[in-house]
Amino acid sequence: MIRLFDFIFSLFGILVLWPIGLIVYILGVFDTGSPIFKQERVGKNQKPFTLLKFRTMGVNTKSVATHLASSSSVTKLGAFLRKSKLDELPQLINVLKGDMSLVGPRPNLFNQKELIEERDKRNVYNYLPGITGLAQINEIDMSTPEKLAKVDAEMLDNLTLEKYFHYILATVGGKGSGDRIKE
């Protein structure tokens, strides 16, 4: 049932929000010259997939977890996109394709060994990663791998349609701030 809602909402989101996406894309061309950010992430059953986002950092920024990136890497447009969560719009394509869900644990990089180990212990990788979830609305990021994995597992073990909608509405309503960037 959740996959059906993921498909419907991501398709609807793409159809309704494409003008905003086009504007962000054009601004991104002027900002970095390469507005779409693609990165291999850990998906369901630890299979790789290519995550799509609007670029918020310079093109030559080292590929590390967000909490390890320097704030000086974030462009002015990128700061706005991160704050408004518009950088996440292209992930609706990942949801439509079935690589992600709207609700699930945020997908991590393959070099985040401690987080992979903690999530693996708790069977988090038995589920699709998501755009938002319990950890995101409570501002728990990847800088605390054990805590994040525990919250992810708790969310997945208790996920209902009611909670699915709650996480989405809380995120759209502005709750949570995503992964923190070091100052």
* Contact present, 54 and 90 (Cβ < 8 Å): yes
Q: Sort residue 85 into left (φ over 0), alpha (ψ -120 to 50) or beta.
A: left
Domain containing residue 125: 2-172
Kindly report the pTM of this predicted structure. 0.89
**Confidence category of residue 174, pLDDT binned at 50, 70, 90:** confident
For residue 180, being part of any structural domain is answered with no
Residue 6, C-beta contacts closer than 8 angstroms, at least 6 positions apart: 95, 101, 102
**Confidence category of residue 175, pLDDT binned at 50, 70, 90:** confident
Residue 70 has pLDDT above 80, yes or no: no
What is the C-alpha to C-alpha distance for residues 13 and 48, in angstroms, rounded to an integer? 24
- The pLDDT, as a whole number, for residue 69 is 57
Residue 67 has pLDDT above 70, yes or no: no
Average pLDDT of the residues in 29-50? 96
Number of domains composing the chain: 1
Average pLDDT of the residues in 76-86? 92
Hey, what amino acid is at 143?
Answer: S
For residue 178, being part of any structural domain is answered with no
For residue 179, being part of any structural domain is answered with no
Residue 84 has pLDDT above 70, yes or no: yes
For residue 51, being part of any structural domain is answered with yes
For residue 182, being part of any structural domain is answered with no
The tens digit of pLDDT for each residue in 88-118 reads 999 999 999 999 999 999 999 999 999 999 9
For residue 183, being part of any structural domain is answered with no
**Confidence category of residue 60, pLDDT binned at 50, 70, 90:** confident
Residue 29, C-beta contacts closer than 8 angstroms, at least 6 positions apart: 35
Residues making up the chain, counted from first to last: 183
Which runs of consecutive H residues, i.e. helices, occur in the chain?
2-31, 76-84, 91-97, 113-121, 134-137, 145-157, 161-172
- The pLDDT, as a whole number, for residue 159 is 96
For residue 181, being part of any structural domain is answered with no
Name the phi and psi angles at 175, rounded to 5: -75, 140
What token pair was written down for 20?
A: 């905003």
The tens digit of pLDDT for each residue in 147-165 reads 999 999 999 999 999 999 9
Containing 37, the helix (H) or strand (E) segment is: strand 36-42
Residue 180 has pLDDT above 70, yes or no: no
